[in-house]
Amino acid sequence: MFGKILIANRGEVAVRVIRACKEMGIETVAVYSEADAEALHVSMADESYCIGGPAARDSYLNMDAILTLALRVGADAIHPGYGMLAENAEFAARCEENGITLIGPGARVTEAMGQKEIAREIARGAGVPIAEGSDILADAAEAVAAANKVGYPVILKARSGGGGKGIRIVREETAVAGAFDEVQKEAAGAFGDDGVFLERYLENVRHVEVQLLADRDGTVLVLGDRDCSVQRRNQKLIEECPAPELSDDLRARLHEAARSLAKAVSYVTVGTVEFLVRGGEFWFLEMNTRLQVEHSVTEMVTGIDIVEWQIRTAAGAAIPYTQEQIASGRHAIECRICAESGKDCLPATGRVAMLHVPGGVDVRFDSALYANCEITPYYDSLLGKLVVCANTRDAAIRKMKCALSEFVLVGVPNNREMHMKFMEDGSFLAGRYDTGIAGRVVRE
């Protein structure tokens, strides 16, 4: 097992990883920007070091600074969390070159699955259904030709995109060229890679993902599935485990497709395969070669510490569970509490004047918030994840309504009230909703 892990991230996920390491007896090293000098993860870690200015590119994305520090403090491994450098194949390769384990599937798999057009071909080879689409597009004219061939609507995607960035939906030929230029520029700025391809845009679908845990011996466990269809501007707002309204046959096919893809690339540690689902059909969307924000709901249902086993499998440990031992009889829901204000739900800042976190059986709030901490404009607007679990979906919804009504955050505008709307919406209560639900509920 690793003796010391450097956490190359901030906020809620850094706190989550530090807690797991402490329980495992592993020393922790935190990095932070000048803007995060008073952040919770800085005080929780055994060692903490400032590595740059407030902008992520000057600190949390500074590979040289992070690797130099890891070598200097004698870290055996680096945990990238999610976002930041978590799916950066160059960083994974540089860690390997320096004899440091990046807690993930390795540079080869990260690179292959991070390039979406390559991931599509791997999925096709593994027998996983994919939406009709194109290869990497050379220019706007080629994008127009490909869109006309595939048929409208289409979705333009950045090869290295993620987090809702680098995508545009196009419904007519006249808009293709402009959208292509926008995606290419956004992708180059956000990911340093301006590769763009397109797919047929599937409407009225659900976004369902399958959580995997794999070890170096070739064992691949499915830790259930999650529905992430409640999204706004391609950003997830609510997740639940298991996904509601799936037939046993469809669920089994989704699980087997995810397992087949993982085996095709000899996947190790924690990963998630995302699908678009409509009726009894599904299509591969992407594979996330990292810890997911919404891993918490799966932990609540299965009772398995996903972060702990991500670390253990990265260190070479074998998974001691069988598929039949994975619990799946309960239901969990997660609401992402974000700093935002106004009708347009724009990111907000402020200082936490008062914070009351709900309690009770099977209620969890994963966050780095504390009284008087400051929310700055430099990073993602996620403040924390309110998670509940119960024996049935109806009971979980009731528990979430109670938890939301008890949650108090003064000083930073946030989206608690919006989540209450979802917990009272008829289509959400019935479990019969798709990726269009947020647009309707938020407008009402």
**Which among 208, 327, 293, 321 is positioned nearest to 257, based on CA atoms?**
208
- DSSP code at position 133: B
Widest pairwise Cα distance in the chain: 59
Check if the beta carbon of residue 395 is closer than 8 Å to that of residue 401: no
SS (H, E, C) 45-67: CCEEEEEECCCHHHCCCCHHHHH
Rounded CA-CA distance 58/264 in Å is 37
One-letter amino acid for residue 311 of the chain: I
Angle at 150 between CA 149 and CA 155, to 5 degrees: 130
Reduce the DSSP state of residue 266 to 3 states and report it. Answer: coil
| 290: annotated active-site residue | yes
Provide the 10 A C-beta neighbour count for residue 3.
Answer: 11
Taking alpha carbons only, the member of 432, 431, 424, 245 closest to residue 441 is 424
| Catalytic position from the list 290, 312, 330, 364 | 290
Contact present, 46 and 114 (Cβ < 8 Å)? no
Token couple for 356: 């009351």
Q: How many CB atoms lie within 10 A of CB 60?
A: 27
Instruction: Give 242's Cβ-side CA count (13 Å radius).
Output: 22
Concatenated DSSP letters of 400-436: HHHHHHH-EEESS-BSHHHHHHHTT-HHHHHT---TT
Q: Give me the active site residues, please.
A: 290
